[in-house]
């Protein structure tokens, strides 16, 4: 299975590189957006991230299955949307927009967490909160987005 996937990636490396570059442009856009925020926006981000961290610290009974279900529903909906767009002729451009959106969301989230919690604490929090959830989602997302980009 690994060999088949590796061969597929090698055969389609141009499309994967395109998808990854578009994704990185989205990440850069999210970072630039945070860096160019006004003081009022920075204050709102500080309040939001601060409340999030406090809620996580004070949470006694976290229903992990419920959180997993919500996360799966959101991610599966996004993947199905990309798949549906890939089935349409005009949907190809929207797939690239979705890749930029996902990159922007990740870049915005990571940079806002680091801006509020500092480099050390923000990096640890971002890795713990985002790495695990995107470890499976992003490769699946890239595979589906790449599949459609071959048709365009």
Is pLDDT at 103 greater than 90 in this prediction? yes
- The pLDDT, as a whole number, for residue 104 is 95
From CA 51, how far away is CA 57, in angstroms rounded? Answer: 10
What pLDDT, in 10s, does the model give residues 111-131?
988 888 888 888 888 888 787
What pLDDT, in 10s, does the model give residues 36-83?
888 888 889 888 888 877 877 777 776 778 877 888 888 888 888 888
For 93-109, letters b (16+ CB in 10 Å) and e give ebbbebbbbbbbebbbb
* pLDDT interval class at 20 (50, 70, 90): very high
3-state helix, strand, coil in the chain (%, to 5): 90, 0, 10
Cβ-Cβ contacts under 8 Å for 109 (sequence gap 6 or more): 30, 126, 130
Instruction: List the domain boundaries for the chain.
Output: 2-149
Cβ-Cβ contacts under 8 Å for 148 (sequence gap 6 or more): 82, 85, 86, 91, 92, 95
pTM: 0.83
Share of the chain above pLDDT 90, in %: 14
Average pLDDT over residues 9-26: 90
Contact between 18 and 149 under an 8 Å Cβ cutoff? The reply is yes
């Amino acid at each position: 299975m690994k060999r088949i996937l590796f061969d597929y990636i090698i055969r389609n490396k141009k499309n994967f590189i395109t998808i990854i570059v578009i994704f990185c442009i989205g990440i850069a856009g999210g970072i630039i957006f945070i860096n160019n925020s006004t003081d009022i926006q920075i204050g709102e981000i500080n309040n939001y991230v601060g409340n999030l961290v406090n809620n996580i610290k004070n949470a006694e009974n976290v229903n992990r299955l419920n959180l997993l279900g919500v996360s799966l529903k959101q991610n599966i909906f996004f993947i199905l949307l990309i798949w549906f767009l890939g089935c349409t002729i005009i949907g190809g451009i929207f797939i690239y927009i979705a890749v930029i959106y996902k990159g922007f969301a990740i870049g915005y989230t990571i940079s806002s967490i680091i801006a509020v919690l500092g480099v050390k604490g923000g990096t640890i929090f971002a890795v713990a909160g985002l790495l695990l959830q995107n470890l499976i989602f992003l490769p699946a997302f890239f595979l589906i987005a790449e599949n459609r980009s071959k048709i365009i």
